[in-house]
Structure 1
Amino acid sequence: LQRVEQTFEVALLYGVRKFGEYNHEVLLVDATNPNRQQTSSFKFYVWQHYGLDCGRYEWNPEFNQYFAIAPPLFAALKAINADTGLAAGQKFIIAHEWLGMPVVFAAQLTEPGQWRTVFYAHEMATARLLIEGHGGHDTRFYNALFKAKEWGLNLEALFGNQDDFFKHAILKQASRCDTIFAVGDLVVEELRFLGGPVSQANIDLVYNGVPAAAIMLPEKLESKRRLQKYCENLLGYVPDHVFTHVTRLVLSKSLWRDLRVMEHLDGLLHQAGKRAVLFILSTSVPGGRRPEWVYAWEEQYGWPVGHRGDNGDLLDLEVSFFFEGIEPFNQRARASRAVLVNQFGWSRDQCGQRMPAEMEFMDIRKGSDLEFGQSIYEPFGIAQVEPLSFGALCCVSNVCGCVGFVDRAAGGLRNAPNVVVADYTTLPSGYWLGSPYDALSIDRGVRDWIESTNSAAVAQTVFDRLPRESQQSETLLLQGQEIARRMSWEVVVSDYLLPGLRKVG
């Protein structure tokens, strides 16, 4: 390894880490200041053999980082004899997204034909870019995609050339691998939509796995009691139902859709004489806030019920979401409230004195009656369905990749009452698309109209399926655990990953 470090002027860290019963070798590469000649030569070879113009993207530090890492990483694999005694059909490089493709290039250029290579698409970066970058979001993009499929058009024919986006240029090289895995059904469609060789490549579905926990109803109810007590401490009432959304605070998670559903759900709860709370655990600051700040804000203005945007409390997307979404909703709502806990962690030491002392992070997963996750772009969505095995309803959008896996695991969505699928892409009756170009005119106004209309049906379905008594909670718990078992990592490996590898082994 020292010779690799000297040749490429990088630092390597080698170690062994145990996962379950097995030890795995781990290699880390620090390419902060790599040998420029080695990196430039590698980029030249990539251009020469694959036609990827690396010089066009050298302004981008992320692009440079992964191209600097790849040659020493592959050389380090050889140095630790990772492939000793293995034939070509027994050696695999699985490229996680575009980030792994430079390692595939390094292997193919250094040892042609000696490694089986897999491109594992955990998203389609160009699709994410187009969805997040336009106000029509998923409503626009997926209607355009499926109409373009009818017309035999690819992405660039409809949206124009995207090669200025380096991830798009690398994505088009995925067909250089022996096979492609996709983490969700729509990711398969998105990859086909790229056109060119990728549209004709072999693509296998290999979903993400879902944790399959085994808990009993009393344990769930104890977690729910803690959440109810927290609501009482914050808002002065004990809710009948506890709703949650645990997520990163980024555009793709479309947190505003939670409030659209809640607006309708609030009326149904009020008519039934029930109350609810929605805890949204999400922050723009990955490391969270300093606990002493949180304690001070709690004392000064009632954080996390109240927030301020001028003192380090609310930042970035949190500002508009609270002041334009949560606060107006809370002013209008009669039977529910939404609380934004913009902190990393879920315990008293991180979230203030009003959180019960016995509260743990898993309580917000185990005690929830409903987990929201209505993303505009979600290749799979593990977090959305994690609470399945805890007996929660999971309200997800129809563009979430996990929906396809639930459908297969349950033998049809009709057999999965735990999962409520919100459809914000199907256009209303009378909205006719003559061509895929018509779909490009779907803007924020159209999407807002569809969301406001369709969210009413989602709210009604949620309301109808919420448990009213212990027996209903027990049924949801057992059904959720059975579905989660059929979506476990063990199932993913045995039924999806290994059969896909055998095809090219």
Structure 2
Amino acid sequence: MVIHGTTAVHLTDEIFDQTLNCHHALEGWLTSEAYHDSIERSIVVAPLLTSQSARTHRLGPEGEILYSTLDDINNTELGPVFDRIEAHLKIKLVYGFQTVLHPITRVPSRIETLLLDVRHMNRSIVNTFKRELFEDFGIQSHRFEHLWQYEQSVRLAPAAMAALEALNAMDDMTTIISHNYTSVPTLLCAMQKPLCHVTTVFCAHEVPSIREIVEAHPGHDTMFYNVMGQALRENLYIDEVFGEPCHTFQHTLTQAASHCHRILASGHNVAREMRFLDPGLQNKTMDIMYDGLAPKKINLAERHHARNKLKAYCEELLSYTPDWVFSHVAKRIKSKALWRDLRVLSALDREFLDTGQTGVMYMVCTDATRRPARDILQMEVNYGWPVAHREGLPDLIGDEIPVFDLVQAFNARARNIKVLFINQDGFDTETCGQHMPTGMTPADLRQGTDVEFCLSIYEPFGSSQLEPMAYGGLCVLNQTCGCTEFFEAVAQGVPQNALIADYTNVGDNHPNIEDALRIGQSQRDQVEQTVCGELAEKIWARLPKTDAESQALLETGSHLAEQMHWNTIIRNYLYPMLQNNLVSTHR
């Protein structure tokens, strides 16, 4: 049911090449039927990443530009107002509509979009706003203004306010939603406006300073969540415990979200992390808004078809047809703890050796953007990518290098399971070379894998790792992953399709914060060795050995996916929050 007159303004910085390649959550919202049934008008606001790109790159090939002085386009009655805004603020503005496709059905959604180029913005206006940020919210911009990401986030705020006022999108029926800490200055700017009654919402999809601490410390999640638990019980906050890592603009802007009207956390764990940041967040009302899924329904025959494609790819590359297929799909390597996958597979390899089973692991992970198809083909011909790799572009870079070292060591030791490290953003014949079976798509990897791994050291929610569950696969998850709490909310317990690992259980050996802070790699290794061995046993016991068992997992996963569908999430979590906002606003 549409809440009449409602406008939702989405602030994001994740539009890539000016097509709406935003993160999973925003895409899920904007393509959900339930979202459009609830919200009358939606506007996406983002930085214009480059004014040099072609016109079709700004709002996508199916987009419609109504105003852009960069392209000499003025097809809106708002043209004179936009002209004045550009002249006064010394910015460039692109306004129009983007077409966003549903990831499964490909049904289009037409989204009003505003892109802002603030590189040459009026310095006097920027400095005035920085002074107001300090006076009203204590934000010291001089500490960070040499960093363009911070500077851009501040400049976008007054520019966005001016454009949204021109679009009549700043009344008491408007909710402005920030999907990233970089948009917090815009929320604060809206709150400073006199006689402005918009509702400001910060979406806490993750907590950047906590990610930084967890990734950098050798104890990783084993250390951090033990420390945080102790600190919260003693009413201590993150800067009192960790100090220097918190002196970043990401941390400062996330803390400043405490001034917003509402905070929307992607899970209870993220809500706890937010409360750990600042006393101002300790008693802040936080709504929970889980990430969702948008899977299609398949039958067992379709699952077998996808699975057989994955087996055929292994046969083509490694000259054997595996009994079982494992996978881990990720775009940010550092936090994904891929070494844990290999520890589990090492233990499972011993089980397979005893039973005569074989397996393959598709580790589809990269820190890079999509590599050109011609480079992939050349690497295939030159040295047999992705079985073999070489350091340096167009192949291994950054964190990919140590990961492949681990993969090589594993493959040298393991007898019945091999790992293929595919450092490419994509999994199809167009992006992954001529050896991939014709017609292979990323959906085949989701629909055909037997086990998807997600044992990350930091995973605020991890909904993409749950997709294989909808198709009858098993998901191996870290207990700190936000989606594990979701099981309690929608499934009244951990479903048969999921296996949960707890890497934070150190017993009673670290009774206080000082002891917990000393948890390092050696202690973490001990925990991981035990947990990974136990996981391997559980995986082997849970893998379906008959079609009847496969069908049961498919039915369980399909039912769970319905409870986690974006439409269900929007109706159960977002819609009530919006209603509460309007009630509070009109009291």
TM-score by length of 1: 0.94
1:470 is aligned to 547
- Are 2:149 and 2:182, in contact at CA under 8 Å, matched by a contact in 1? no
> Bigger CA drift: 245-254 or 221-230?
245-254
* Residue range with higher mean Cα deviation, 445-454 or 308-317: 308-317
Q: Distance between the aligned counterparts of 2:233 and 2:190, measured in 1?
A: 38
Task: Tell me the alpha carbon deviations over residues 273-307 of structure 1, each in whole angstroms, 9 at most, x when there is no partner.
Answer: 1111001111232122x333322322333211111
1:28-427 alignment, distance < 5 Å: 28-83=115-170, 86=171, 88=172, 90-160=173-243, 164-288=247-371, 290-309=372-391, 312-323=394-405, 325-413=406-494, 416-427=495-506
Shift of 1:310: 5.0
Q: Is the 8 A contact 2:213 2:245 kept in 1?
A: no
Give distance in 2, aligned partners of 1:436 and 1:204: 29
Q: Is the 8 A contact 2:455 2:478 kept in 1?
A: yes
User: Are 1:460 and 2:460 counterparts?
Assistant: no
In 1, the alpha carbon distance for the partners of 2:488 and 2:355 equals 31
What stretches of structure 2 of length at least 5 have no aligned partner? Answer: 1-81, 101-106, 583-587
Q: CA deviation at 1:492?
A: 1.4
C-alpha distance in 1 between matches for 2:219 and 2:433 = 39
**Amino acid paired to 2:207:** M
CA positional deviation for 1:146:
0.6
Partner of 2:572: 495
Q: What is the DSSP-based 3-state SS (H/G/I as helix, E as strand, rest coil) of the residue aligned with 1:400?
A: coil
The CA deviation string for residues 451-478 of structure 1, in whole angstroms up to 9 with x for no partner, is: 1111111111111111112111111111
Q: 1:440 to 1:234 in 2, by over 3 A?
A: same
Distance in 1, Cα, partners of 2:358 & 2:244: 51
Query: Which residue of 1 is the match for residue 510 of structure 2?
Result: 433
Kindly state the Cα deviation for residue 46 of structure 1 after the two structures are TM-superposed: 1.0
1:467-501 deviations in whole A, cap 9, x for unaligned?
A: 11211111111111111110111121111112223
Equivalences for residues 474-489 of structure 1 within 5 A: 474-489=551-566
The share of aligned pairs that are identical, in percent, is: 35
Matched to 1:11, the amino acid is: K
One-letter amino acid matched to 1:421 = I
Q: Distance in 2 between the 1:501 and 1:376 partners?
A: 33
Per the alignment, in what secondary structure is the counterpart of residue 539 of structure 2?
Answer: helix
CA distance in structure 1 between the aligned counterparts of 2:366 and 2:160, rounded to whole angstroms: 34
- The answer on whether the counterparts of 2:188 and 2:260 sit within 8 Å (CA) in structure 1 is no
SS of residue paired to 1:212: coil
Q: Is the 8 A contact 1:406 1:487 kept in 2?
A: no
1:163, distance to aligned residue in structure 2 (A): 5.2
In 1: Cα distance, 2:246 partner to 2:210 partner: 13
Task: Summarize the Cα distance change of 1:345–1:171 in structure 2 as closer, same or farther, 3 Å threshold.
Answer: closer
Contact 1:266 1:334 in 2 (8 A): yes
8 Å CA contact retained: 2:472, 2:554: yes
Q: CA deviation at 1:167?
A: 1.5
Q: Contact 1:348 / 1:355 at 8 angstroms: preserved in 2? A: yes
What RMSD, in angstroms, separates the aligned Cα atoms of the two structures? 1.7
Change (3 A) 1:202 1:112: farther
Q: Helix, strand or coil: the match of 2:431?
A: helix
Provide Cα deviations, 1:122-145, integer angstroms capped at 9, x if missing partner: 111111111112111111100001
Q: Which moved more, 1:292-301 or 1:225-234?
A: 292-301
Q: Once the two structures are superposed, what CA deviation does each residue of 1:407-454 show, in whole Å capped at 9, x if it has no partner?
A: 2111111xx011111111111x4x522211211000111111211111
Q: Work out whether residues 249 and 317 of structure 1, in 8 Å CA contact, stay in contact via their aligned partners in 2.
A: no
The CA distance in 2 between the partners of 1:168 and 1:345, in whole Å, is: 32
Q: CA deviation at 1:217?
A: 1.1
Counterpart code for 1:502: Q
Decide whether aligned partners of structure 1 residues 184 and 45 sit closer, same or farther in structure 2, where only a CA change above 3 A counts: same
Q: How many residues are aligned here?
A: 495
Letter paired with 1:297: M
Distance (Å, rounded) in 1 between the aligned partners of 2:391 and 2:531: 32
Q: Deviations over 1:220-269 (max 9, x none)?
A: 11111111011011111111111111111421111111101111111112
* 1:311 to partner: Cα distance: 6.1
Q: Which runs of 5+ in 1 are unaligned?
A: none
Deviations 1:105-164, CA, capped at 9 Å, x for gaps: 211122355111111111111111111121111111000011112222222222226552
Secondary structure of the residue aligned to 1:473 is: helix
What CA distance in whole angstroms lies between the structure 2 residues aligned with 1:249 and 1:97? 17
How many angstroms apart in 1 are the aligned matches of 2:363 and 2:306? Answer: 16
State the distance in 2 between where 1:21 and 1:305 align: 38
In structure 1, how many angstroms separate the alpha carbons of the residues matched to 2:358 and 2:195?
64
Q: What is the CA distance between 1:39 and its match in structure 2? A: 1.0
Per the alignment, in what secondary structure is the counterpart of residue 340 of structure 1?
strand
Contact 2:331 2:425 in 1 (8 A): no
Deviation for aligned residue 1:396 = 1.2
Q: Is the 8 A contact 1:139 1:425 kept in 2?
A: yes
Distance in 1 (alpha carbons) for counterparts of 2:231 and 2:246: 20
- Give yes or no for contact 2:201–2:263 (8 Å, CA) kept in 1: yes
Q: CA deviation at 1:377?
A: 0.6
TM-score by length of 2: 0.81
Name the SS of the counterpart of 1:172 in structure 2: helix
Deviation at 1:369, TM superposition (A): 0.8
Q: Distance in 2 between matches of 1:497 and 1:247?
A: 27
Instruction: Output the amino acid matched with 1:402.
Output: C
Which secondary structure does the structure 1 equivalent of 2:176 belong to?
Answer: strand
User: Closer, same or farther in 2 for the Cα pair 1:162/1:259, shift >3 Å?
Assistant: closer
Rounded Cα–Cα distance in structure 1 between residues aligned with 2:572 and 2:313: 42
After superposition, what is the alpha-carbon deviation per residue over 1:51-81, rounded to whole angstroms, capped at 9, x for unaligned?
1111111111100011111111111111112
Structure 1 residues 311 and 130: alpha-carbon distance in aligned structure 2, compared to 1, 3 A threshold: closer
CA distance in 2, matches of 1:408, 1:485: 13
Which residue of structure 1 lines up, in the alignment, with residue 104 of structure 2? none
Counterpart secondary structure, 1:14:
strand
Contact kept, 8 Å, 2:359 with 2:416, in 1: the verdict is yes
